[in-house]
Each structure stands twice: as structure tokens, then as C-alpha cells.
Amino acid sequence: MKWIWKNGKWIVIAAVIISSFTLGFHNASIYAPNHGFDGSGHVYYIQYVAKHWTIPPPTEWETHQPPLYYIIGAAVMTIFGTFRSAHYINIFVLWMIIGMVGLGLRKVFKDKIQVLLGMFSLAALPMLNIFPAMITNELLSTLFIISAAIASLYLLHTKNKKQVILYSLWLGVSLILGIWTKISIITILPTVGVVFLIFFLRNRAKHPLILIIGFTTLILFIAAALPIFLRGAQTKGPSNVTNTIASIKATRTPDFYFRLDWIWKVDMYNTQYYSMLGAAWNSFFSDGHNVITPFIKFHKKAFILWSLGFILLPLSLYGLVRLWKRNKDTAIIVNIIGASMLGMYVLYNLGNHYSAARLTYEMAIVIPYAFGIAGAAHNKRMKIFLFILLSIQFIILLSFFWILSWWHVTK
């Protein structure tokens, strides 16, 4: 008993990781490849690369996408000799995302329990756990967006020239790999720009090095992005970004941005069609798009996950307020990330884009969420309270997202 009490932290960490991987491997082994968000198009892309070892023309469904994820998928498929192996990629990417956010948390919070709770909040977040079983580039794109954000955070806290160069290199590689995964990486550029501006204002005496690194990073990113955008220009129709920008108009009624009637309706599945707040809650905390769980009007487990969001999100916002009081530079960066992601979400809704109802392209919003949860865990009581809430969320998530053989996504 003493050993269990002494090593309780490590037992919990091991249990969470093992449970998460077990869920991921089970779901990936039973999930039909063509399901998910545009599953057939992603499958075709990987199979084409594996067969021809060249990138397909950007004229078919999803083939306008940058190639990095599909090259990785094709390599995994070739090594293991089965297409099913490509399903397991995102299980590992999920934990790379959690680990990357953990690096950022460790830089800011010296209390290890706060760091671990911030990471646990992502392991227990339904929005992230929708994706690991799918064939999709969304999680890998999120990884590089988050990597660029955390590299920017480290750059803000540099103490010498060597660190400036090292973290700038980390940032540059993240941006380049990101643009070669999905153009969603552009959502982090406002954050990167603000970091370089703050860094420049702080270190005017060393501005030549800062300016050189900043412009070099920008030029390398543009050089890497150019062939991606030129490739996208060859599509039969406009790309996602150009389509969204071109279609921006007031297609939503004003009450879309503040309607709350989905709360007392207990509407967990349809609010994305009439409320921005409801759509964000559903995409962020549960699977309201029928990509994993069977679509039913009301589900007890979904209701618990949905209800926990009403507690955890305010606690996260409370933690961000505390972060602002204690570390304004970090809070500025984290809040800019959140504002950029929400801004992109509103942009897609203005254009009434087909993906507007989900936070797929704005998943880096998990950074301020995790930092807020960590910031809220500032004393023993709050740590225990958050651990209990997140444990309930994680356990229900494991049960709710455990795919059964009769579900539609297995066929």
C-alpha cells in the first residue's frame, strides 16, 4: 500500500497512456478506412503514393492536399505490408501533440502536477480523440501548428544567442513541415509575428540577428509554401482557402453568434447548424458529427461529456486569467493563439464553408485550453478537483468512443 501511495502519480500516468493507446489501437483496428472526414479521398491519396511513389495530380478529391502525411502513410503501408497499418499513425500523433503541449507547459509552470493536469486535459478531450482511428492529415497538421506555437513560446523566453538560433530553427522546421502537411499552418502565423515583434522590442541592441533570423524564417517558409499553393491552383475548382475567402458574406443570421437555446434543449448534435457557441461546444467536447459514435438524439454518456464542458471550459478561462496576472508575455501568446483559432472558425462560418461546424482546422485552440487548466490548478484543492473532473471525462470518453462491431463506422 505504501508503494502504491508513493508511486501513485506514475501509476496514474501509466494507466492513462496505456488506456489511451488501447482505445486507439482497438478503434483503428475496426474502423472502416473510408469513414471519417473525407476518408475515401485520403485513402486514395495514400494508396496512389504507395503504388506509384509519386504524388497524384491535384485534380481528384483531396489530392490537392500537401503530400507529407500521405508519404508517411504510404511508407508505413509499404513497410508493414497492409493498408490497415496507416490507421495507427494518428494514435502516435495524438500523444506527440500532448507531449508537445507538455513541453510548453513545462517551460511556464514549474509545478509538475500543473503540467501533468494540462496534458491530462488533452488526453481526456473528446475533440482530439475523434481523430486517431481515421485516415486524415488533420492531427499531423495540428502537431506542426502546435510545435510552431511552442517553439515561439520558447523563443520568447530565450536567454542567449545560441538559444535564439536553436529555437528559430525549431520554429522554421515546424512551419515548413506544417505547410507540407496542410495549409492550416497559416493560422499560427499571427502568433509567430507577435513573438518576433515582442522579441525585437525587448532586444533592440541585438536587432540585426533578430531581423536576419526573422526574415530568413519568412523567406524559407514562403519558398516551401510556394509549390503547395501553385499545386492548389491546378485543382479543377478553388481550394478550401480561396473558396472560403471568395464566399465570405453574411450567410448567417446575427443570432447565430449568440444563441443559447441549445442549452435548455439539451441539443448535443444539431447546434452546429444554428449556433456558433453550440457548434464550438459540440465539436470541442463531443462527437456531434456522427464520425465515430452512432447518431442518436440523446445519449447518457454524451450528455456527461457535454455537461463537463460547462465546468471545464470556465475553469480553463479562470486559469488563463491567473496566467495573465503571473506571466503576461506567455498569456499574450496563448491568448493570440486562441483568438486566431476562433477567428478562423468565424471566417469559415462567414463563408458557410462545409467544414464550418467543426473545429478541425482550429484544433490548436487546445493550447490555451491546456494552459488554462494548468493555470487553474494553483493549489491542492483545485488540483484534486480538476483531477476528479478529468478522470470522469477520460473514463466516460473511453467507454463512449470504444467502437463496437455493429456501429456504422465498421462497414
Digit-by-digit pLDDT tens for the chain (411 residues) are 455 455 678 888 999 999 999 999 999 999 998 887 788 889 899 999 998 899 888 888 788 889 999 999 999 999 988 888 899 999 999 999 999 999 999 999 989 999 999 999 999 999 899 889 999 999 999 999 999 999 999 988 887 788 888 998 999 999 999 999 998 898 899 898 888 888 877 776 566 677 777 778 888 888 888 888 777 666 654 444 444 444 445 567 788 888 889 888 888 877 877 888 877 766 666 665 667 887 777 788 888 988 898 999 999 999 999 999 988 889 999 999 999 888 888 877 776 665 666 677 888 999 999 999 999 999 999 999 999 999 999 999 999 999 999 998 898
**pLDDT value, residue 285:** 63
CA within 13 Å, CB half, 351: 18
Classify residue 61 by its DSSP letter: T
SS3 category, 403: coil
User: How high is the pLDDT of residue 106?
Assistant: 95
Give residues with Cβ within 8 angstroms of 144, minimum separation 6.
174, 175, 177, 178, 181, 185
Asked if 38 and 135 touch (Cβ cutoff 8 Å), the reply is no
Q: How far is CA 228 from CA 147, 233, 238, in A?
A: 20, 9, 14
From residue 363, alpha-carbon distances to 194, 284, 321, 344, 366 in Å are 20, 9, 21, 11, 6
Per-residue burial over 183-194, b if 16 or more Cβ lie within 10 Å, else e, is bbbbbbeebbeb
* Type of residue numbered 177: L
Cα separation, 362 vs 341, whole angstroms: 5
Cα separation, 84 vs 29, whole angstroms: 7
> Cell triple for residue 355?
467544414
Sign of the Cα torsion 100, 103, 108, 111 reads positive
Q: E strands within 18-171?
A: none
User: Using alpha carbons only, how large is the chain's radius of gyration in Å?
Assistant: 21
Q: Which amino acid is at 126?
A: P
Condensed to tens digits (0 to 9), the pLDDT of residues 113-135 reads: 999 999 999 999 998 998 899 99
Q: At what angle do helices 189-202 and 138-156 cross, to 10 degrees?
A: 10
pLDDT on residue 245:
44
- Confirm if 194 and 333 have CB atoms less than 8 A apart: yes
User: How far is the CA of 17 from the CAs of 20, 22, 95, 120, in angstroms?
Assistant: 5, 8, 9, 10
Neighbours of 121 (CB within 10 A): 29
Closest alpha carbon to 175 in 167, 165, 185, 163 = 185
For the chain, give every domain's residue range.
Answer: 28-410
**Using CA atoms, how far apart are residues 200 and 210, in angstroms rounded to an integer?**
7
